[in-house]
Structure 1
Amino acid sequence: MIALETAPKVAVAPARSVTTVEQVIKGLRAMVRALFNRRHLAELNDMTDRELLDIGLVRGDLTTVMHMPLHVDPTTQLGKLAQERSQIMSAARHVC
């Protein structure tokens, strides 16, 4: 008897590949979400500079994300900018 004949049989689940249709749908959802969130930039643009600073943004941040490609979600980018600014300000407070 050969050892390979006695080895247990292991069922391997077939790998599920992402279809092109699923990729297109995912991309369209991301684009719609980005465009929807881009509409909220107008609301942020109506805020005063002090109000923007309260949420960790400056007016230049709004301008920066407005000039990004349409498929980029501006709210994600604004969140990153605010977080980076917060980290810089926190580090500056610890220096003094």
Structure 2
Amino acid sequence: MITFEHAPQSIELAARPAFAARVLNLVANTYRIWKNRRDFYRLGEMTDTELADIGLTRSDLYGVTDLSFGSDPTRRLGSIARARAETIEELARRVA
């Protein structure tokens, strides 16, 4: 049974896992963003033909360079490539 005497201690103990989870999530997200940014810079080393194979253009890379550090450029590039693929599929259906 929790009494008013022990309530502050119980709240403090309950808050520790939540705080630890938030810190762990922050560290994990920062690492993921750093890793994805590193992969993004590797895309810049690819030829235009290689970029076209994955549904991107060099101008797509330039378009996401101004994103803030907290933003993930690979997510934006993924959505650009998916939108382009959907447009191409839609055009192909119209022709057939």
> TM-score, normalising length from structure 2?
0.70
In terms of fraction of residues, the more helix-rich structure is 2
**CA–CA separation in structure 2 for the residues paired with 1:34 and 1:79:** 14
Cα RMSD (Å) of the superposition?
A: 2.1
1:19-50 per-position Cα deviation (integer Å, ceiling 9, x unaligned): 23322321231122111211122221111111
Task: Quote the sequence identity (%).
Answer: 32
Change (3 A) 1:85 1:29: same
SS state at 2:88 partner = helix
Q: 1:3-82 counterparts in 2 under 5 A?
A: 19-82=18-81
Report how many aligned residue pairs link the two structures.
81
Matching of residue 89 in structure 1 with residue 88 in structure 2 = yes
**CA–CA separation in structure 2 for the residues paired with 1:20 and 1:68:** 29
- The one-letter code of the counterpart of 1:94 is R
* Structure (1 or 2) with the larger CA radius of gyration: 1
Higher RCO structure, 1 or 2 (CA under 8 Å, sep 6+) = 1
Structure 2, unpaired ranges of 5+? 1-13
Q: Which runs of 4+ in 1 moved over 6 A?
A: none
> TM-score, normalising length from structure 1?
0.70
